[in-house]
Chain A
Amino acid sequence: MSEKGNGGFETVAERPPQPPDSGAERRPRPPVKGPIRPYGDTTGDGMVQLSFTLPMPHSKIAEGAAVQLANKMGMDPALVVHAKQMGEGYTFFVVYGRVHHLVDPSKVEVVERDFPLLTPQEANAAIKRRLRRRLVVVGGCIGTDAHTVGIDAILNIKGFAGEKGLEYYRELKVVNLGAQVSVPHLVERAREEKADAVLVSQVVTQRDAHLLNTREMSAAFRESYPPDRRPLLIVGGPRFDETMARDLGVDRVFTRGTTPGEVASYLVHRLAPPPADQSARKAS
């Protein structure tokens, strides 16, 4: 089976099996240095579990097919411990087995989000402690776009993807202006409300209207505010590119799949940062 295993790992020396801890003398394990394998009940045993469905009725052949899949995924030996037919043409399998792959934590590269993700409680606490007042967010859809689904998913308490919207945050004051808000009206309301941040959504657009609208919006805010007083400008929508913030004259662009929690965390990161990080606000 040529797919089995991963040739790249074959050269890495296998760690010798280690004796299991004797209950009497438990010492903290040293930090992981070298390559490791999954752990079932013995160091180095490489045991994993897997469940999946194959689109075929249950039979011995189906179980064989399940083993074949597990083998191809690198489990060898693989043991089908449970198989159950569902409806007419599907079978659910649970498979236990050994993998020979080694993973090397020292070679893992992690792309860090440039701001920490906070729970609503943490976000509220940070705003309360550092801003000592509620943080004001004004949002809406500009231009002719009548699709408030994006801005509502972020702002409405109902939220999105299992996360509550910004209205849910006790320390955020949310003003949702809804659809088809003109740029002058948006600026006016932002001033009235003393907005700390302005959120603009653009969902359905034609011929790059979302880019033109956004540039018009950011220009209007630059014009009507002194540079150090301007609210944080955030745009979002499925057709934006996250790297375009500078080009559009805004502070941040969020794209498809952004959740309210991410937006709230970003607001805290920029407007109520931890003391050591006070410079963040001035950075752009």
Chain B
Amino acid sequence: MAATTRRRTGKLDLDPATVRKARSLARTVGRPIVRIARQHTTVSVERATLRLAGLAGADAEGTPWVNRLVDVVRADVGLEHGVALPVWDAVRRGEGADLRELAEKASAGSVRFRIPEGPDAKRARTAATRAVGAGIRRIDGRRRERERLIRRIGDAPATPWVYLIVATGDIYEDIPQAQAAAREGADIIAVIRSTGQSLLDFVPEGATREGFAGTYATQENFRLMRAALDDTSRELGRYVRLTNYASGLCMPEIATLAGLERLDMMLNDSMYGILFRDINPTRTFVDQRFSRQVHARAGIIINTGEDNYLTTADAVEAAHTVTTSQLLNEYFAKEAGLEDWQLGLGHAFEIDPDIPDSFRLELAHAMLARDLFPDAPLKWMPPTRHMTGDVFRGYLLDGFFNLVGALTGQGILLVGMMTEAVVTPWLSDRDLALQNVRYVMNAAGNLREDFRPEPEGFIAERARQVLAETIDLLEQIAAEPGRAPLLEAIADGTFGLMKRPADGGKGLEGVAKKARDYWNPANEMLEAR
């Protein structure tokens, strides 16, 4: 999926000038946000930096050492200079043999941090650069390891990659389920996180066996699951990818852990946390930029969360908010260094099946996404809102969902379950769902070659209409007052009906404006591409 410059050969023959205009508006709207992201740091960015340098583990109460250390440094000298200089200055002064000992002593109150100057600062920089550089090199090594494994073992045999979910809450239950799902045909395993982890301002530690409707994302859980899937990949002769969530208050740290443990995909949306979790906008954009830089470096494919817009708003009326969000996600992703092949831009099959032409509308929306982002592996999400508990009707709906996926060349297909909204999927539900996917792909997987919508027909017309509404919305956002119109738009409730003011939401207290002398070696290494 290498990025190649090519002539637009989309099925919809979209006007290239209109497409350029949409992208340029996304840039206009996104750029001030990037400026804000560059001007701030957060507790989670700083903690991620310490994790890159190898600080892991937690105290007896389960509070991670990175949290302990950052809290003490912040209390002593503030966050605005970055924690790297004061931390490695303290190590150099002999306050701790390593970061772990320093963190222990600091939380016992026996270390005073300072901002070093002159030669002290220079030496602290050297030490910090070496330590954090080791983490970045480990991420690079993990990426090469993935490439090597895919070469040696083999890749998923066809697209779309089949994406299945496990979620028991217990990592030791998740592992056999994930291996079984891979044997049944999954190319991607996603481990759903425990409800509410996105609002924890720390990453839990160790292997976990208790979660609410999902399993905690921890470094150890990542490691255990990746190792198990490596075994299964060898057994099956195809590399099975692992997905988790880089979202919520600890997005940068979780992205870092994913890079260190060779996860392959991460859910990572630019606005999801703001809109659906009421996390402070600045916190989100700062954290998101750092986490995307890590993903870019680690060769991780991101999955964005546009499907969420359609679960809260009408899927026809809100179609253009999906396209708008995809364009913004693309801008923010590329700015952070991600390439087209890493953009699993999301969209979903959520139109009310009772409205006339619902299938044609779905096809138009999906085709628009495909034509706008020809080199991105789009992520196609199954129906949830209109799954009523009538499993037989739901099975048919999932078949039509799969058909749209086949007709529009989706890269990642989250398999729809007929028991959606009834139970967590049973073994037989998953088996039937995979039969549904296989039947449609086998029967109609190549139909795309023959299918081109009538240029003046319903589908092409609908796609043009959604793109026009997208441009209207982006223009409306760009016209908002202030230095960051997108923040104003988010505060007004432009997306997903939610009003999220820039000075509200969770995690704001963890944001600091960078001082002139702010320094973070990870930033330098991740920016230098």
Q: Is the interface of B mostly helix, strand, loop or mixed?
A: helix
Alpha-carbon separation in the docked complex, A148 to B183 (Å): 37
CB atoms of A87 and B183 under 8 A apart? yes
Chain A residues in contact with chain B, CB under 8 A? 51-53, 84, 86-87, 90, 92, 147-149, 152-153, 156-158, 160, 162, 164, 167-168, 170, 176, 178
Instruction: Give the number of residue pairs across the A-B interface with Cβ within 8 Å.
Output: 55
Interface residue? B512 (CB, 8 A): no
Interface string of B255-281 (1 = CB under 8 A from A): 000000000000000000001111000
CB atoms of A53 and B426 under 8 A apart? yes
Q: Is the interface of A mostly helix, strand, loop or mixed?
A: mixed
CB atoms of B195 and A153 under 8 A apart? yes
CB atoms of B497 and A170 under 8 A apart? yes
Top 9 nearest A-B pairs (CB, nearest first) are A149-B196, A86-B431, A92-B428, A158-B276, A162-B421, A53-B428, A157-B276, A149-B195, A157-B498
Residue in B276, B311, B428 whose beta carbon sits within 8 Å of that of A156 in the complex: B276
Residue in A147, A153, A168 whose beta carbon sits within 8 Å of that of B312 in the complex: A168
Alpha-carbon separation in the docked complex, A168 to B427 (Å): 33
Chain B residues positioned under 8 Å from A51 (CB to CB):
428
CB atoms of B278 and A160 under 8 A apart? no
Chain A residues positioned under 8 Å from B427 (CB to CB):
53, 86-87, 90, 92
Interface residue? B321 (CB, 8 A): no
Interface string of B166-192 (1 = CB under 8 A from A): 000000000000001001100000000
Chain A residues positioned under 8 Å from B384 (CB to CB):
162
Alpha-carbon separation in the docked complex, A12 to B431 (Å): 42
Chain A residues positioned under 8 Å from B311 (CB to CB):
164
Please name the residue on chain A nearest to B195 by beta carbon. Answer: A149
Chain B residues positioned under 8 Å from A162 (CB to CB):
384, 421
CB atoms of B199 and A148 under 8 A apart? yes
Chain B residues positioned under 8 Å from A52 (CB to CB):
428
Chain B residues positioned under 8 Å from A153 (CB to CB):
195-196
Chain A residues positioned under 8 Å from B196 (CB to CB):
147-149, 152-153
Alpha-carbon separation in the docked complex, A161 to B453 (Å): 38
CB atoms of B276 and A160 under 8 A apart? no
Chain B residues positioned under 8 Å from A158 (CB to CB):
276-277, 308
Alpha-carbon separation in the docked complex, A176 to B277 (Å): 11
Chain B residues positioned under 8 Å from A157 (CB to CB):
275-276, 312, 496-498
Please name the residue on chain A nearest to B434 by beta carbon. Answer: A86
Distance to closest chain B CB from A44 (angstroms):
24
Alpha-carbon separation in the docked complex, A51 to B429 (Å): 11
CB atoms of A149 and B312 under 8 A apart? no
CB atoms of A152 and B276 under 8 A apart? no
Chain A residues positioned under 8 Å from B426 (CB to CB):
53
Chain B residues positioned under 8 Å from A176 (CB to CB):
278
CB atoms of A86 and B199 under 8 A apart? no
Please name the residue on chain A nearest to B420 by beta carbon. Answer: A162
Interface string of B362-395 (1 = CB under 8 A from A): 0000000000000000000000100000000000
CB atoms of A156 and B497 under 8 A apart? no
With A53-B427, A86-B431 in contact, do A160 and B195 touch (Cβ < 8 Å)? yes
Chain A residues positioned under 8 Å from B277 (CB to CB):
152, 156, 158
25 pairs from A and B in contact (CB 8 Å cutoff): A51-B428, A53-B426, A53-B427, A53-B428, A86-B184, A86-B427, A87-B180, A87-B427, A90-B427, A92-B431, A92-B432, A147-B196, A149-B195, A149-B196, A149-B199, A149-B212, A152-B196, A152-B199, A153-B195, A156-B277, A157-B275, A157-B276, A157-B497, A164-B311, A168-B312
Q: Which of A52, A86, A160, A178 counts the most B-chain CB atoms under 10 A from its CB? A: A86
Please name the residue on chain A nearest to B431 by beta carbon. Answer: A86
Chain A residues positioned under 8 Å from B308 (CB to CB):
158
Alpha-carbon separation in the docked complex, A277 to B384 (Å): 35
Interface string of B44-63 (1 = CB under 8 A from A): 00000000000000000000
Interface residue? B506 (CB, 8 A): yes
Please name the residue on chain A nearest to B422 by beta carbon. Answer: A162
Chain A residues positioned under 8 Å from B183 (CB to CB):
87
Alpha-carbon separation in the docked complex, A120 to B426 (Å): 29
With A148-B199, A157-B276, A178-B506 in contact, do A168 and B497 touch (Cβ < 8 Å)? yes
Chain B residues positioned under 8 Å from A149 (CB to CB):
195-196, 199, 212
